[in-house]
Structure 1
Amino acid sequence: MRVVFETERMKYSHTGLYYYCLNLGNALLNSAPLDMQLSFYHNERAELVFGDDKNYIKQKSIDKFLKLSWKGFDLYHANYQLSPYLPKKGKTKVVLTIHDLNFIAEGKTPAKIKKYLGKVQANIDRAVAVVAISNFVKEDVEKHCKLGNKKIEVIYNGSNIDPEKIKLASPESPIDGPFLFSIGTIAAKKNFHVLPFLLVNNNYKLVISGIIQEEDYYQKIKAIAKSLGLEDRVILTGPVSEEEKYSYLKHCSLFVFPSLAEGFGLPVIEAMSFGKKVLLSTYTSLPEIGGKEAFYLESMDANYLQDFATNKLEMIIQGEDRSDEIKAWAGQFSWETAAKAYWDLYQSILRS
């Protein structure tokens, strides 16, 4: 049986969807049943990250207009809720993974929200099975979309951190002195601009890594840091390699992630894989993913954050060592577990 795994979004490196496709794709390859052949629908200019000997179908920009039939393939797994590449008709069955409906919470116009919801709905209508990456996403989809008699299955993402590579992280800290660390696309929905307030009345530095998606927002973060007299302690690195990320995670005093819109929040699990304490917002999926082993910001008000920095931050950092418990929590999120769940789903569809 022939399965197509859509990796078109991997043309955008250093993003959550890139690493989702990379890690799940590799896990699927490693656990593929003997009667299943996996092919990757891969951008023609992207590196063949799964190995030169694997099955690739070249994705071209014009494909979204041509609407490929996918004749000869039994199942197509669309890994992006707004994907325009699903087979529109024919015998090929479709599995759709929905990562989030963040566009609803991002301040877009009602017309754009309606447009995007229409695209998601069309993909749901074409699919025979729908997967959400968290219970939060599942509930969001059930609230805003029409599922008919389709059931949404929740399959959690795994951690991108290779336990063996943790040992290879540099013993030398990349930053002089103690620091807080965060990582993600530099965009308003990540809410990074509140983090400089956590440096008030202490000596910590703040490192934020990630591609700059919104230049105005990048400048806003820098302006707030300057207004607080903290521009020398707020460091925006841009995108970093996996090795550099490991180094920041290993040596940071606390991982901070105040995002307002997360379908899952992979960076949280990455940090917890190192046994790091994490400080999160209470929005969307983060309480579900961080669970009882995380700390939470109850407000994004500047006065609250400065009071938190003064009276609570050091207590969290210097408090009880629960690194073993934190690692154990993170360990439940595995790409091997996710791949098994997806293969079980594929097989149940194709053998029904």
Structure 2
Amino acid sequence: MLEVVLDLEKLRQPYCGLGQFARYLGDTLVEELKLRGIEPIILARKPQLAHFPHERGLEASLWRKEFLQRHSRRFYAGTLDQNLIWHATHQQTRYLPRHPRTPVLLTIHDLNFLREKSSCKIARERRRHQLIIDRATEIVTISQFVAEEVRAEMNVGDKPIHVIYNGVSRAPTEPVRPAFVADERPFLFSIGLIQRKKNFHVLIDLIERAAGYRMILAGIKCDAYAEEIEEEVRRRGLSDRFLLPGPVSEGEREWLYQNCSAFLFPSITEGFGLPPIEAMLGGKPTFLSRRTSLPEIGGDLAFYWDEFNGDHLYQRFVDGMRRFSEDPLYAERLKTHAGQFCWRKAARQYADLYESIGGIQQSRIASAA
């Protein structure tokens, strides 16, 4: 029986993008693999292994980390498990198989370090990424943009690169009105880790001009960037119209998606961008920056900002809202577009790759015998 180790260690961070990816892809993949007679083996921390009580587990522990195994791997004399494939589900993984010939499928979500780091840090990150790319048998990226960037910036040789889009993670959830939404004034919504790369501060200029709306920006406040936004909101006297409530529950998030007038996402570096697709699935007008993968994901139905000055932000917002309101079918087209990003579809594509890699592995072993 073919066995696949699924690196779901990021389940320990349920509110970050990689944590969401591990949760939704992991759940769907386990179902798909069992339908195909493939045995999933879950690599995760001990508390998160409880989420998969019926599957074989591999506890993510210190001794299994890659930096402790890298130099000893060449001397490893263990027997190769001919039916095992290892799926490293993100490029930041600290866990890889011990045997040097175990096939590794690597999912690369982004190369954002190229835009976020100083030159010395970029060099360090490039070396770290190259090590895991060198170890990979085949590569998956979550958008065509990332695939092209990986080919241009990293040495992948003749390794195949496949594009498998993420799915939409809005699971059926009972909406719960947040306590911080105290009245019926219309509001605009965004969600994500409050980090500088998300570019959320430009929305202050927009909401200052959009006098009829409030802005609700939900998400974990990671660093000083969130404090800078809050200070600027206070300085401009917008505290009652620009809210940063921090992380919200799934029920609150669902309510915010359902009841917002529009979704705004000015991020300047994204490997994919799940929140815009979640908003589009609800038929909401969605405004994005025209950067990295977002035009690919938003398609022709999202509205785009080419600049981040207040006048441009506001004018594109007004024009987009007008187009949306004048077209009674726009919301349905948004839902149809978002529907193509499906975790079930992604799980099937990953399972196809496992079977393909497993078949190649068996052929190589048979040829060498």
Common topology (TM > 0.5): yes
2:205–2:309: 8 Å Cα contact kept in structure 1?
Answer: no
2:110 pairs with 1:100: yes
Q: Which one has the largest radius of gyration?
A: 2
What amino acid is aligned across from residue 46 of structure 2 in structure 1?
E
Q: After superposing the two structures, state which structure 1 stretch, 88-97 or 190-199, moved more.
A: 88-97
Equivalents in 2 of 1:5, 1:30: separation in Å?
13
Q: After superposing the two structures, state which structure 1 stretch, 130-139 or 36-45, moved more.
A: 36-45
Equivalents in 1 of 2:324, 2:233: separation in Å?
22
SS at match of 1:118: helix
Unaligned runs of 5+ in 2: 361-369
Shift of 1:184: 0.4
Alignment of 1:100-119 (within 5 A): 100-106=110-116, 108-119=117-128
Aligned to 1:286: 294
Shift of 1:308: 4.8
Aligned to 1:36: 38
Distance 1:313 1:174, change over 3 A: farther
- The superposition leaves residues 280-299 of structure 1 with CA deviations (integer Å, 9 ceiling, x where unpaired) of 00011000000011011121
Equivalents in 1 of 2:114, 2:99: separation in Å?
29
Shift of 1:86: 1.5
- The superposition leaves residues 47-67 of structure 1 with CA deviations (integer Å, 9 ceiling, x where unpaired) of 622x32222111113432433
Equivalents in 2 of 1:114, 1:84: separation in Å?
19
Distance 1:261 1:88, change over 3 A: farther
SS at match of 1:200: helix
Distance 1:11 1:265, change over 3 A: same
Equivalents in 2 of 1:174, 1:210: separation in Å?
14
1:39–1:56: 8 Å Cα contact kept in structure 2?
Answer: yes
- Count of matched residue positions in the alignment of Structure 1 and Structure 2: 345
Shift of 1:83: 1.6
Distance 1:324 1:171, change over 3 A: farther
Distance 1:89 1:62, change over 3 A: closer
Aligned to 1:223: 231
Using the aligned pairs only, state the percent identity: 38
Aligned to 1:8: 9
SS at match of 2:165: coil
Equivalents in 2 of 1:343, 1:313: separation in Å?
39
Distance 1:104 1:299, change over 3 A: same
* TM-score when normalising by structure 2: 0.88
* TM-score when normalising by structure 1: 0.92
2:42–2:49: 8 Å Cα contact kept in structure 1?
Answer: no
Equivalents in 1 of 2:151, 2:101: separation in Å?
27
Which of residues 94, 111, 130 in structure 1 aligns to 2:139?
A: 130
Shift of 1:148: 0.7
Alignment of 1:170-319 (within 5 A): 170=176, 175=181, 176=183, 177-201=185-209, 202-214=211-223, 216-308=224-316, 311-312=318-319, 314-315=321-322, 318-319=325-326
Shift of 1:110: 1.1
- The superposition leaves residues 69-110 of structure 1 with CA deviations (integer Å, 9 ceiling, x where unpaired) of 79646111001112221225433110000000011111x111
Equivalents in 1 of 2:234, 2:311: separation in Å?
17
SS at match of 1:346: helix
Which runs of 4 or more aligned residues in structure 1 lie more than 2 Å from their structure 2 counterparts after TM superposition? 44-49, 65-73, 87-91, 168-176, 226-229, 302-309, 311-321
Q: After superposing the two structures, state which structure 1 stretch, 122-131 or 33-42, moved more.
A: 33-42
